[in-house]
Structure 1
Amino acid sequence: MTGMNKIVNKLLTGALALLMCHYAVCTENRNLLQNAATESQVRTSLILNQEWVPYPDYTDREAWSRLTDVVSEQLIAEGEKYLDFEWRVVKATDYIEFERSGSRATMETPFGANSNALSALVLAELCEGKGRFLDQIVNGVWLFSEMSSWALSAHLPGPQRSHRSLPDDSGHVIDLAAGDIGSLLSWTYHFFKASFDEVNPSISHRLLNTLKERILETYMARDDFWWQAFNLKAGAMVNNWNPWCNFNVLACFLLLEDDPEKLAAGVYRTMRSVDAFINYNHSDGACEEGPSYWSHAAGKLYDYLQLLSYATAERITIFHEPIVRNMGEYIARSYVGDGWVVNFADASAKGGGNMSLIYRYGQAVNSTEMQQFAGYLYNRSGKRFSIAVGRDVFRALEAMAGYPGLSITEPALPTFKFAWYAETEFCYLKNEDGLFLAAKGGHNNESHNHNDIGTFSLYIKHIPFFVDAGVGTYTRQTFSNERYSIWTMQSAYHNVPRINGFDQRFGASYRSREVRFDERKMEFSLDIAGAYPSEAKVKQWKRRYRLDGKTVYITDEYRLAEAARPNQLHFLTWAKPDLSIQGEARLTKEGKQATLFYNPNQFSAETEVIELSDPRLTGVWGECIYRLVLKEKKARTKGTYRFRISAL
């Protein structure tokens, strides 16, 4: 096998294995959208000929002035940056670089520069309305019309016949980027068709035909895109790709398709697909991908449902369903404070969320908690409101429309003492002493999975002390069979034990057992033995977390079939542990202190420095984090470990 063939084989076996369908959980066939309307009912409910669009026509300058008042200066200035923009050529070798080095950025950087330019120009012209940006908009439309594909190099190997990262002629691919571009260009067509025709009718004619061929016809003709979930195996994964891509496809259908039969068929097909995402999610509403992905998981579900509601005059809506509300409120409850969030899986520890999106979602599901959390984020920003330049015109327009309500919303953080996601197995505990403890169970094949069953994070007065590092910049290796060669994915770099010399394994069968939450004791417990391979010889490893005042108690009770090697306990910390006193690991960060107490007769302690160079990690933690390793002095087949973390 040649070197390139080996790379292609890795692309296939890895990307298909990790991005596509895995046996993960038992879904509940709610089929909420299909139960809300049949295809025939969709046909009679849809508002035709784009009369549903809630935004003014491009020529209605007074209405646009009112809508964009608070952001027009910003958006016009953003558009002006691109009046002399040199449109970037995405070269063949840019696509191929994904195979050669694993770099995604080589292709995505020029592609993203072009899409950001077009979006900024479109929004600027909608604000100003003088035609000053139209020529560059035409150039952007023409450039994208001439591209072979709008899909990213990292996403092409799976669905293409060649299984390579360079676009081939086996058919168009709809991925996250292709869908985004399709939606962006559809809104561009909707607002500027008449203006394009004044320049040259070929512009809008070609754009419409290109969009129909690449998005509408492709979506109806193919059922093999994994994210569509039309051929879903029992318990298979359906992640944020599903609502994200389906939202874009729905927008294209609603903005471009004037044939009532074809429109109804396309819309109903997206409803069938999105039902698979809702079915996959637990009714508790937790996002297993973490808060960084919420805006493109539950958040994109909201966008999809809002678009569907607009297009049917609210005749088809499921915003009243409890699961939809629960999926929304998860983002508010995962916020710790001062910009820090609970970050399991590939999520970042810093964030908070899109305040406008959270506010509008909260309005739709009648959640005061979400609306007030959005108000908190708005106040925390210094009441600064702006539109992020990106490919999502719908969110930009909706943000403008929702701003008046957001700006007067009472700000507040959620006041819960605990948030218990019994099905997803996330547990958040917090108290008036300023401690916020987050722990998880689950399985090791969740979307954007890390091998982290039983891990925890601890924040004191909003400051992270015991942490989850998150993930570095995405490369080919991130979503391949090499994923778990990356340190951030390994259980050895999460707050869990190494048992008999073995770390946790990847796979849905590696999961927690006997997961419980005791509200009275404020205690979360689980058996993590099932997360380890049979070679670890672990019969039971019951871990308990209890929050009491300024102290967190951690207890491990274990039984092994044999004790081949001493166990190790790992703790990732943001502050450097001071081990000068036996039995104590003292941590100091930003004026706050915490001490982890351990039994020095059981363990020796050492600290490892984890140097960080990836900007996605340094932007959160700085130049390094630390791993505290407690090494068992004598291997035993059964025992109990007790740890205490006290805040000072």
Structure 2
Amino acid sequence: MDIIPISDQVRCMPPAGLNLYYPDGDGDAFWSEVRSGEEYTADLEEIRSEAERLLAVPAEALTYSLFSLFARQGTRLEYEREYFEKRRRLNTFAILSLLEPQSERYKAALLDAIWAICGEVTWCLPAHIGEDRPVKAAIDLFAAETGFTLAELRLLFGERLPQIVRTVIAELVDKRLFRPFLENGPYDWEEAEHNWSAVCAGSIGSAALLLLNEETDRERLERILERTQRCMEFYLRGFGDDGACLEGLGYWNYGFGYFVYYADLLYGRSGGTLDWFAGEKVRRIAGFQQKCFLGGKAVANFSDALPYASIHIGLSRYLAGKYAEVESPPLALRADFREDHCSRWAPALRNLLWRSRAGNPADFGSGDYALRDAGWLISRSVSENGVFGFAAKGGHNDEPHNHNDLGHFIMAGGGAFFLSDLGCGEYTKDYFGEGRYDYDCNGAQGHSVPIIDGKYQPAGRSRTATILDQSLSESEVRMSAELSAAYECKRLESLTRTWVWRKMAWPELELYDAYRFAAPPDRLTERFVSLLKPIKSEEAGVLLLRSDRALGVELHYDVRHLRAEVSERPFRNHFGENAFWYAIDFHVIEPKANEDVYFLFKFVHI
């Protein structure tokens, strides 16, 4: 898609007003509807509960001791917990002040929250401040989000905010976002083909659309939007024509969410003349979320994504209202107000603002999706026994938020995982550094892929899976991938992995691996990953993975050919909690030059 021209449109833009947010610009009517609307009951209970919690404890300061921990020991969570808690205060008391404008208690708490954030030395996280750029010139995801948030609050509250607060917000956003963006760039993220370009540029562009309203601001607004539009073009380049987000569903919510928030404000302020939503690629990206769900909140969580996901109901319904093929998601999947540990204002507001844009189905139905550019195959099968899901991936080992996982796959049933992807681990300095693939959630050792001669898949763009077949039918889906390029093994001439997912009342998955070596390998191991501890069956050649939902998966294998071994492994999840996973290894007893290995995974009622 060509970069959208903006110069003529900027000159004709009216000032930003409440009509960008509310029908007819009537905020009082909207918030009255939220107060009385049955569909918002759970949201309001969550927000009010959070307010009581926050009012009962003092706000913590962002000290240098916390800030310096990342440089001293590489950990992020200590500082970020307090940083995001301050944003939680801001969000909570801002929404309640909109809902209950007569409350002096909420207003005072909101003003204190705004003032505290305005007083921060930097809005950037320690992990994102480098020595190559002074602090005053640094713009990261969270600095950009913070500026957008404050600009939005300034418009939504208008003169209900004291003039000094309105002035400080405008001055700080100019000082920390607009001037660095125009005077100190270009920034690395401006040409990033992942979430950074969308979030940073989208937030800066949105703040500019909200704050730069005077005739004397036109030239600056035009310059900012020209840069922002270019960033969005780079962001979209990160997607193939299939619309898949290689960073995972969480980063689709994040990056594409901020793309949409910006595109909506741009569309509104330009009177519809600047319309990113008309692009065919944007339409396809908008349909990605509904393809990822495998039943309940379980999702295909390849890359740095969480295994269970909620939906941003506002973003989701907005997109369903834009595009007929985008399904309006079930309200049961709605994210709790307290769920976003980063406490982002933009989605929190729009989860209320955009709630009623489309209908409310009971659940996502069956669906089969061959995402050919990403090399993913996803199937969600609904039968009288429940909802079952399967996902497998090809791709390459240099993707955004990359994991070394070519040939990896997932199985879920009844909203629980039987074969898992560990998803994103605890973010530390080393997690994004040289030690990235020592983390089991990132390295091939923590994925359901073969181990050849004791070696795992390495990282790199040349480590690529070639998709040979992706076929969908009413009774089954099938994918085959050539994986030999994923390994550093001179003897390996070919490795074809084939999955056949049969959509019966109790689904089954057949897995075939065909190895061709120039000479027999010394060792050959098939590894599967689960968070469930396998149980030996009384039947030879069967292991059982059992959930707490009267549901299990039988793993059938040939005991004459394979020796099973199970080991428990520790890891730290994304929230810094200790957890365990199980490596289910099948060692080929006598590897041959031509080696064919077969497994059958069967869902069963227990």
Aligned length: 584
What is the rounded CA distance, in whole Å, between the counterparts of 2:246 and 2:461 in structure 1?
A: 13
What is the rounded CA distance, in whole Å, between the counterparts of 1:273 and 1:536 in structure 2?
A: 42
Contact 1:78-1:124 at 8 Å conserved across structures = no
Alignment counterpart, residue 288 of structure 1, candidates 246, 251, 268: 246
Q: Quick check: 1:415 aligned with 2:387?
A: no
What is the rounded CA distance, in whole Å, between the counterparts of 2:481 and 2:365 in structure 1?
A: 26
Alpha-carbon deviation of 1:634? Answer: 1.7
Alignment counterpart, residue 58 of structure 2, candidates 70, 79, 86: 86
Which structure 2 residues correspond to residues 148-227 of structure 1 after superposition, within 5 A? 148-157=121-130, 160-161=131-132, 169=134, 171-192=136-157, 194-197=159-162, 201-227=163-189
Query: Is the partner of 1:171 in helix, strand or coil?
Result: helix
Deviations along 1:137-160, whole A, 9 cap, x unmatched?
333333333322100011112xx4
Query: Is the partner of 1:336 in helix, strand or coil?
Result: coil
Alpha-carbon deviation of 1:188? Answer: 2.5
What is the rounded CA distance, in whole Å, between the counterparts of 2:432 and 2:253 in structure 1?
A: 20
Contact 2:295-2:380 at 8 Å conserved across structures = no
Structure 2 unmatched ranges of 5 or more = none
Q: Which residue of 2 aligns with 1:43?
A: 10
Deviations along 1:195-231, whole A, 9 cap, x unmatched?
444xxx44332331111111111122233322211xx
Deviations along 1:513-552, whole A, 9 cap, x unmatched?
243213356320011111112x453221111111234321
Alpha-carbon deviation of 1:363? Answer: 0.8
| 145-154 vs 39-48, which moves further | 39-48
Alignment counterpart, residue 347 of structure 2, candidates 395, 400, 407: 395
What is the rounded CA distance, in whole Å, between the counterparts of 2:575 and 2:343 in structure 1?
A: 21
Which structure 2 residues correspond to residues 235-314 of structure 1 after superposition, within 5 A? 238-258=193-213, 259-314=217-272
Q: Quick check: 1:444 aligned with 2:397?
A: yes
Which structure 2 residues correspond to residues 388-537 of structure 1 after superposition, within 5 A? 391-406=343-358, 408-416=359-367, 418-431=368-381, 435-519=388-472, 522-533=477-488, 535=489, 537=491
Contact 2:380-2:389 at 8 Å conserved across structures = yes
Alpha-carbon deviation of 1:453? Answer: 0.3
TM-score, length basis structure 2: 0.89
What is the rounded CA distance, in whole Å, between the counterparts of 1:613 and 1:73 in structure 2?
A: 33
Give the aligned residue type for 1:365: Y
Deviations along 1:212-259, whole A, 9 cap, x unmatched?
111111122233322211xxxxxxx51112212222112210111121
Q: 1:195 to 1:587 in 2, by over 3 A?
A: closer
Q: 1:388 to 1:503 in 2, by over 3 A?
A: closer
Q: Which residue of 2 aligns with 1:21?
A: none
Contact 1:184-1:391 at 8 Å conserved across structures = no
Deviations along 1:319-372, whole A, 9 cap, x unmatched?
2333222212211111111221111111111113222321111112233x421x
TM-score, length basis structure 1: 0.83
What is the rounded CA distance, in whole Å, between the counterparts of 1:348 and 1:60 in structure 2?
A: 35
Alignment counterpart, residue 525 of structure 2, candidates 568, 582, 586: 568
Q: Which residue of 2 aligns with 1:234?
A: none
Q: RMSD of the TM alignment (CA)?
A: 2.8
Alpha-carbon deviation of 1:438? Answer: 0.8
What is the rounded CA distance, in whole Å, between the counterparts of 1:566 and 1:547 in structure 2?
A: 28
| 77-86 vs 636-645, which moves further | 77-86
Q: 1:478 to 1:432 in 2, by over 3 A?
A: same
Give the aligned residue type for 2:263: L
What is the rounded CA distance, in whole Å, between the counterparts of 1:632 and 1:617 in structure 2?
A: 36
Contact 1:618-1:624 at 8 Å conserved across structures = no
What is the rounded CA distance, in whole Å, between the counterparts of 1:405 and 1:206 in structure 2?
A: 35
What is the rounded CA distance, in whole Å, between the counterparts of 1:385 and 1:170 in structure 2?
A: 34
Alpha-carbon deviation of 1:425? Answer: 0.6
Alpha-carbon deviation of 1:79? Answer: 4.2
What is the rounded CA distance, in whole Å, between the counterparts of 1:290 and 1:481 in structure 2?
A: 22
| 515-524 vs 437-446, which moves further | 515-524
What is the rounded CA distance, in whole Å, between the counterparts of 1:192 and 1:299 in structure 2?
A: 23
Alpha-carbon deviation of 1:170? Answer: 5.1
What is the rounded CA distance, in whole Å, between the counterparts of 2:434 and 2:48 in structure 1?
A: 45
Contact 1:473-1:615 at 8 Å conserved across structures = yes
Q: Quick check: 1:538 aligned with 2:511?
A: no
Structure with greater contact order relative to length (CA < 8 Å, sep ≥ 6): 1
Alpha-carbon deviation of 1:489? Answer: 1.2
Deviations along 1:584-638, whole A, 9 cap, x unmatched?
223222322322222222211111123456474879xxx5432211111123222
Contact 2:18-2:27 at 8 Å conserved across structures = no
Moved over 6 A (4+): 56-60, 387-390
What is the rounded CA distance, in whole Å, between the counterparts of 1:82 and 1:573 in structure 2?
A: 38
Give the aligned residue type for 2:120: M
Contact 1:103-1:476 at 8 Å conserved across structures = yes
Deviations along 1:454-487, whole A, 9 cap, x unmatched?
0111123443211112232222221111111111
Which structure 2 residues correspond to residues 605-620 of structure 1 after superposition, within 5 A? 605-611=564-570, 614=573, 616=575
Q: 1:58 to 1:147 in 2, by over 3 A?
A: farther
Query: Is the partner of 2:441 in helix, strand or coil?
Result: helix
Query: Is the partner of 1:314 in helix, strand or coil?
Result: coil
What is the rounded CA distance, in whole Å, between the counterparts of 2:576 and 2:48 in structure 1?
A: 33
What is the rounded CA distance, in whole Å, between the counterparts of 1:326 and 1:277 in structure 2?
A: 14
Contact 2:11-2:218 at 8 Å conserved across structures = no
What is the rounded CA distance, in whole Å, between the counterparts of 2:365 and 2:221 in structure 1?
A: 41
What is the rounded CA distance, in whole Å, between the counterparts of 2:313 and 2:380 in structure 1?
A: 23
Q: Which residue of 2 aligns with 1:628?
A: 584
Alignment counterpart, residue 129 of structure 1, candidates 98, 101, 125: 101
